[in-house]
Amino acid sequence: MKKFIFISCVIVVLAVAGIFTLNYINAQNITEKSTTDTPVTQAVDHDFFPEFYRGIYLTVNSANRMAKLQTFVEMAKAANINCFVMDVQSAKYARCIVPAENVQYCKENGIHPIARVVMFPDGLSNWPVSEDYIKERLDVAESACKNGFKEIQFDYIRFNDSGRNKHLKNAERYAFIEGFIMRSKEQLKKYNVKIAVDVFGRIPLNVHDVIGQRMESLDKVADIICPMAYPSHYTWSKKLMKDPYYTVLITSKKAKERAQNAEIVTYIQAFKMKLYDIPYDKYVEDQIRAVHESGIKGYLMWNARQDYKVPLAVVKNFYGKNSNLLK
């Protein structure tokens, strides 16, 4: 009897061992098969910088609301727009409030998102500037980088145009702005971003300027310089106000001549102000043509109300006739 029980136990043990062995072999076969037959999916890197910028400006309300953003993305894709300048903060928050998923959505749809950070609303008037304020602006820029922006555009990075702080020499003003940009690049370098700076349209035409912007100084530190070449704002010259093609052409060319390192991306006027009887669509097209003929890196269309119906139709029509200019 004991012998029978012993033999039975041996049989059971061998059977169990066999089952485990078969399961192990099957598992190995399944693993090997899945490893061999199933392709490995790798994350797609959607980061890019346009070879030629064709952009529009968006408010923070449009940038941080997915439904609105999707509408602008579809409009942009239909018109060959490839970048958005996006406000990233509101008066209430000293940080970027455009979600990372919105930034990524733009990239996935071939739109390069640019974070616009306003430095000194209406220009710097109170001197000296508090360290806390400087740190706050830089923190806004860094929070935008953390949300996926690869280009930070500082606007209103200038002194007030009213003649305040007359005791400051031009060289001191240039040094302050240059120093801030250098500091921003140092703080943000781990994110591998580009730094853009907006300048008055007159800056490429002026050797010196009381607002503290000078092409040669900015060229030392900025990756991109964006002259705001709105013809309606050249109030000291009737010729420049009345000829949008010439105004954008001469501003862009002068900027490029004086910038040895930085790329030039010019802001153009996409709003109805002092058009001097020039049809609005022609007014916009003349500026786009001037940008291409100046040989710079591209253009950004500004309309504070985001009313781009006519400008986007002009862009679509322009490249329909000049498809060779699409890059």
How confident is the model over 172-187, as pLDDT tens digits?
999 999 999 999 999 9
Q: Per-residue pLDDT averaged across 250-272, rounded?
A: 98
SS3 for 51? coil
Q: Kind and range of the H or E element at 231?
A: none
pLDDT of amino acid 45? 61
Mean of per-residue pLDDT scores for the chain = 89
Lowest mean pLDDT of 31-45, 161-175, 276-290, name the range: 31-45
189 against 14, higher pLDDT: 189
Structure tokens at 92: 């209430």
Res. 27: pLDDT tops 70: no
Percent of the chain with pLDDT over 90: 81
In this prediction the pTM is 0.87
If one counts every other C-beta atom within 10 angstroms of the C-beta of residue 55, the result is 24
pLDDT of amino acid 14? 40
In angstroms, the CA 312 to CA 315 distance is: 5
Q: Which residues pair with 268 in a beta bridge?
A: 301
Contact (CB, 8 A) for 121 and 163: no
The model's confidence at residue 139, banded by pLDDT at 50, 70 and 90, is very high
In angstroms, the CA 13 to CA 3 distance is: 16
The model's confidence at residue 90, banded by pLDDT at 50, 70 and 90, is confident
